[in-house]
A and B are shown apart, each in its own frame.
Chain A
Amino acid sequence: MKIVGKGIGKIDGMAIATGKPVYTDDLVMPNALVIKLLRSPHAFAKIITIDTTKAEQVPGVACVLTYKDVPNVRFTVAGQSYPEPSPYDRLILEQIVRYVGDEVAVIAAVDERTALKAMKLIKVAYEVYEPVLDFETAKGHTSVVHTETDLHCNFDIGMKQQLNVVSSQYLEMGNVEEELKKCAVVVEDINYMQAQAHCMMETYRAFSYLDHAGRLVVVSSTQIPFHVRRKLARSLEIPSSKVRVIKPRIGGGFGGKQTVVMEFFTALVTLKTGKPAKLIYDREETFSCSNSRHAMRLTVRVGADSDGYIRAIDIQGLSDTGAYGEHASTVFMVVGQKTLPLYNKTNAVRFMGDVVYTNKMPGGAFRGYGATQGTFGLEAAINKLADKLNMDPTELRLKNLIKAGESSLISQGKLLGSSSLHRCIEKGKELIGWAEKYPKPVVNGNKVRAVGMAVTMQGSGIANIDTASAEVRLSDDGNYTLLIGSTDMGTGSDTILAQMAAEILETDMGKIIVNASDTDVSPYDPGSYASSTTYVTGMAVVKAAEELKQKIIEKGAAFLEVLATEVEFDGKVIRTLTGEKELSLEKLAERMVLGLGKLQLVGNGTYGSPVSPPPYVAGFAEVEVDTDTGKVSLIDYVAVVDCGTVINPNLARIQVEGGIVQGIGLALYEEVRFGKKGNLHTNSFMQYKIPCRKDIGRIHVAFEECFEPTGPFGAKSVGEVVANTPAPAIVHAVYNAVGVRINRLPITPEKVFLGLQDKK
């Protein structure tokens, strides 16, 4: 292959690296109103009175809006295909506020200073309720977070509204309790993962205006333009034909922007005032008033027979979805879906549990989307099992993990299309020096070094749901326009999709113009989430490019007055096999749009897959623990990745490195702390520590390619799977070093120190 498989630089790389004004806040018109939001200081309260008269009178204030000014139509903010598996439990502004930071009033003014001044003049009287702050006591709590009678679920997700349960799930194959009884060895482990914050560098922001046709245009730093359009139409009660959503360059998302966080407010203001309006969340709002990873408790039991075959897995989860239920049931479902297929020598598996409402900021989509939490819980138990079986943890994996062509209890008979996970483990062992470093830790005074490992899987798109379309158009000048709706948030998806098209059309990258993503123009795409862009949108691009290529050949042959089977196309020229006659692509393009051809050539592709082929990662960590202080330093991290065919090695490598560092943050540094009244303390980079350059050791990334038959050029996905292994691998390494098993993330020096004290 000439272009796919090459580390081609991103088509927007130079512009974004050198600070060109291509992001949302760079594009907004200078006279746009500035919006500020008044937020609830209480975790759970009802607005009894709200008086905005003084605020409205401040010169320069365009409008001050409260719950009285919005339609009474409930919706979900989840970026999911319709019908969404998330409860319609939101109003744009509501009389009940359900977490500290929940929106109370929208103030639009000529500038920020004026808006803030007006905000101070709004008088609100609240009736404060007792908040539900602990997710372990939320179910059946006397305070019910959602009492509204018009809460709507598109279909049954197991909601028990009065009990604060958003989704109750139960999936069992075989009889887990019976099977566990038969096992020679059973271990149980209980683990907690925190509500990790995305910390994308570009905070949430959007602006909107009315265009020349009176339509509402919203420019937003979003991953989901089509879902945004649908939800704005519903919540504002306007026809969706009147809404256009445009996504410019955006500064990261990681799933946070797979939720319609704040576009409602700019849209509302523009509709009310007729004026352009912008809203930029600052870092504090981004931390505390958007969404985070779902905090979860995982109680996992695994049982093995005396030969070391894992015969039963039971995962019981409790998930904290916060004040609103977007992504609640789906993230939870993924906990089981992307863990149970891994070990397929089982006779029984079960995934069950509840997702509960609490009066905290909602959980949402975050890279891994439940697989991160599930992997953490399961791999911790599997490592504990290896210990009890006196078996090398890598041997236990190699013996029990699913291979290509096999199936698992929850796969519904579908066979695994591709996997190189076994090779990944072997390679990873080599790279980290597993044979020399496991099981004996290396002790050097108060410094102890040891290794740990974990494996994980994810998906590539959502089977039978994610469907994307793509269009490739041959323009009059012989160039191609690739129209896609997927949303490059820095990952480089625009570039790799162009690579695919260029490969098929046998042309170079310079001839492909990528246009993405604008709901007026782009073919439908759910957006970039669920690791769907390379796989689902990629296949749509492949189909579209192949269709166009075929049309070029047919039309070219027709002009050359031969049959399509009698020509070949090398990307530049359509030539008869005999070599006598030829027609250049430029000439063909020119003719097709004019009288001679009368048909501009376009290739279309729509793809949705009945399977979600899993990418895999084998992760290995080497840590050094200071036994005097409990401090854990990361010396080395090895990740060997199976993402099928690697479309762009440079970009894929960075995805892995980036995901690993997020996983390292989750494991060692990113602590989430709430105050007694439900206010988030860790709401700044000063308090919430994402890893800085000195916090990571060496990171080695390797790929073990394999060919996924259903994927473009054999590719699967890589975007999410990479975040899942560091936490369990590091916990394992710390245990192997000093015998302290940390069950609650992040691993802090004090926790390790206390563990060491307890052992004495």
Chain B
Amino acid sequence: MEIKVILNHKPVTLVGEKDEFLADILRNHGRLSIRKGCNTACCGLCTVWLDGKPTLSCNILGIRAAGKEITTIEGIAQEAEEFAQVLVAEGAEQCGFCSPGFIMTVVAMKKELENPNEADIIHYLTGNLCRCTGYMGQLRAVKTYLGVK
């Protein structure tokens, strides 16, 4: 089945089965930054933007994305690099496997929230699990990035 989408600002035709989810379809298409960390839509690793909103690509049927805008980390390369530099300077990316999904959520948060405080940030990022860092370093990096005290 062919699915026409806008992927990272470019019109693209994705290929997938009817019951295939976006995460697999995108990985097969070469978007290897998409990670699958669980079977139960709980970890946030597969986060992409669908029409600008952070969603779980493991849980979106390919067909549902038809005609929509999909953004992966490659599509926000500049913001991702900016934030990644802050993360790396903090030492806060460890194994990195949760990073792309995490960065997608952080940048979505930057766009969606105005002047978030620490509690707002923690709330927005709760759906992104991390087992390596203990979350504190990531929070420090996000606060630096957003200029939050």
The interface of chain A, by Cβ under 8 A from chain B, is 7, 9-10, 12-21, 23, 25-26, 113, 198-203, 249-252, 254, 282-284, 489-492, 648, 650-651, 653-654, 656-662, 684-686, 690-694, 696, 699
Contact = CB atoms under 8 A, between A and B. Distances in A.
Contacts of A200: 95, 97, 131-132
Contact of A252 (B34, B128, B131): B131
Contacts of A690: 129, 131
Contacts of A203: 37
Given A9-B88, A202-B97, A654 B42 contact: no
A693 B91 contact: no
B99 interface: yes
Contacts of A284: 39
A375 to B, nearest CB: 19
A19 B100 contact: yes
Interface string B93-137: 111111110010000000000000000001101111111111111
Contact of A16 (B77, B96, B123): B96
Contact of A658 (B32, B38, B94): B94
Contacts of B139: 693
Contact of A699 (B123, B129, B131, B136): B136
What 4 A-B pairs have minimum CB-CB distances, sorted nearest first? A490-B95, A16-B96, A19-B33, A650-B91
Contacts of B90: 650
A490 B96 contact: yes
A251 B20 CA distance: 25
A23 B73 contact: no
B134 A685 contact: no
Interface of B: 17, 32-40, 42-43, 45, 72-74, 77, 80-81, 84-85, 87-100, 103, 122-123, 125-137, 139
Contact of A654 (B17, B92, B103): B92
Given A13-B88, A658-B134, A201 B45 contact: yes
> Max chain A CB contacts within 10 Å: which of B88, B99, B123, B127?
B88
A201 B92 contact: no
Contact of B99 (A7, A17, A492, A653): A17
21 contacts: A9-B89, A14-B85, A17-B100, A20-B33, A113-B17, A200-B97, A200-B131, A200-B132, A201-B37, A249-B95, A249-B96, A252-B132, A283-B40, A490-B94, A650-B89, A651-B91, A654-B92, A661-B135, A685-B43, A691-B135, A694-B126
A686 B43 CA distance: 9
A10 B88 CA distance: 7
A261 to B, nearest CB: 17
B100 A686 contact: no
Contacts of B126: 692-694
Contacts of A16: 93, 95-97, 99
Contacts of A696: 134-136
Contacts of B137: 650, 653-654, 657
A559 B95 CA distance: 45
A684 B94 contact: no
Of B38, B42, B84, B91, chain A has the most CB atoms within 10 Å of the CB of: B91
A654 B129 contact: no
Contact of B40 (A199, A252, A491, A685): A685
Contacts of A659: 134
Contacts of B99: 16-19
Contacts of A201: 35, 37, 43, 45, 95, 97-98, 129-132
Contacts of B35: 19, 201-202, 251
A650 B90 CA distance: 6
A282 B123 CA distance: 27
Nearest to A658: B134
A490 B33 contact: no
A23 B131 contact: no
A651 B88 CA distance: 10
B91 A489 contact: no
Contact of A693 (B80, B89, B93, B135): B135
B94 A685 contact: no
Contact of A14 (B42, B84, B136): B84
Contacts of B80: 18-19
B84 A17 contact: yes
A694 B129 CA distance: 11
A260 to B, nearest CB: 20
A659 B94 CA distance: 12
B129 A692 contact: yes
A742 B127 CA distance: 30
A719 to B, nearest CB: 11
Given A490-B94, A693-B122, A658 B132 contact: yes
B80 to A, nearest CB: 5
Given A201-B97, A251-B97, A283-B39, A10 B32 contact: no
Nearest to B32: A21
B94 A252 contact: yes
Given A19-B35, A201-B35, A657-B136, 20 more contacts: A7-B89, A13-B87, A16-B93, A17-B88, A17-B93, A17-B100, A18-B33, A18-B84, A19-B32, A26-B32, A200-B131, A201-B98, A252-B94, A252-B132, A650-B90, A654-B133, A658-B94, A685-B129, A692-B129, A693-B125
Contacts of A25: 32
B98 to A, nearest CB: 5
B54 to A, nearest CB: 15
A489 B131 CA distance: 12
Contacts of B98: 201
A686 B123 CA distance: 18
A651 B90 CA distance: 8
Nearest to B72: A19
Given A201-B129, A490-B96, A18 B91 contact: no
A284 B38 CA distance: 8
A10 B137 CA distance: 14
Contacts of B122: 693-694
Nearest to B99: A17
A299 B37 CA distance: 37
Contacts of A113: 17
Contacts of B94: 252, 490-492, 654, 658
Nearest to B74: A19
Nearest to B98: A201
A684 B135 contact: no
A700 B74 CA distance: 35
Nearest to B102: A17
Contacts of B72: 19
Contact of A492 (B32, B33, B91, B135): B91
A358 B56 CA distance: 38
A499 to B, nearest CB: 13
B44 to A, nearest CB: 10
A675 B98 CA distance: 31
Contacts of A491: 94
A490 B126 CA distance: 22
Contacts of A10: 88, 91, 93
The winner among A15, A251, A254 for most chain B CB atoms within 10 A is: A251
A159 B42 CA distance: 41
Given A16-B96, A17-B96, A200-B131, A686 B40 contact: yes
Contact of B42 (A19, A651, A686, A693): A686
- Most A CB contacts (10 A, CB to CB) among B36, B129, B132 go to B132
Q: Which of A492, A654, A657 has the most CB of B within 10 A?
A: A654
Given A17-B84, A699-B134, A9 B129 contact: no
Contacts of B84: 13-14, 17-18
Nearest to B124: A693
B93 to A, nearest CB: 4
Given A252-B94, A282-B39, A490-B94, A18 B134 contact: no
A729 to B, nearest CB: 15
A656 B133 CA distance: 8
B22 to A, nearest CB: 16
B33 A21 contact: yes
A201 B94 CA distance: 11
